[in-house]
Each structure stands twice: as C-alpha cells, then as structure tokens.
C-alpha cells in the first residue's frame, strides 16, 4: 500500500513515528519526505497491520496536521524491514 499524506507533516516527527510503529507491526517498506511538503509511505505485510498504519497516517503524531491522505494498492516488492529515507 502506498500512502501520500499532505498537511503539516514535515518537521513534526511524522517519519520517525511512522517507522517505529511500522517496525512494531513487523511491516516492510519505507517512509520519506516529498518535495511538495508531504510524506509518502509504503507498507508491506499482513493486511490488518497495513490498515492500522493507514489509519494512523490519517491522524499522524501529536504535532502533525493531516489534511489529506491518498492510498494506492500496489504489488508487494518483498521489502524486508522498514526504513526512513530522505
């Protein structure tokens, strides 16, 4: 699942919190800042855990303000581990 989040989501620990929660759920994938000020995350793993992360993305961490969340189903790539990228 690819998730694009817009709002005040950079500089508010969005990526770090997202990565910690995804790792706790045993998900693979990554999260990164987008040049437009949004955040993009890709989650792979059990459907229930992926949905939990999508639900979290709609709220974000305490300091975030999420305006919009766009999701797209994608074929899994076999990602092992969850990383924060630039």
* 33 labelled catalytic: yes
Whether 12 and 61 have beta carbons less than 8 Å apart is answered as: yes
* 32 labelled catalytic: no
Q: Which of 4, 15, 25, 32 is catalytic?
A: 15
Q: Which of 8, 25, 32, 33 is catalytic?
A: 33
Q: Quote the CA–CA distance of 3 and 7 in Å, as a whole number.
A: 13
> Which secondary structure element, helix H or strand E, spans residue 49, and what is its range?
helix 47-59
- CA torsion sign, 27 to 17 to 55 to 6? negative
Give the catalytic positions in this structure. Answer: 15, 33
């Amino acid at each position: 699942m690819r998730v694009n989040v817009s709002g005040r989501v950079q500089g508010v620990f969005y990526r770090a919190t997202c990565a910690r929660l995804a790792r706790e759920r045993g998900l693979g994938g990554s999260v990164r800042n987008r040049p437009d000020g949004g955040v993009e995350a890709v989650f792979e793993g059990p459907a229930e855990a992926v949905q939990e992360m999508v639900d979290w993305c709609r709220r974000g961490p305490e300091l975030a303000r999420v305006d919009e969340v766009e999701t797209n189903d994608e074929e899994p790539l076999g990602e092992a581990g969850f990383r924060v990228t630039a």
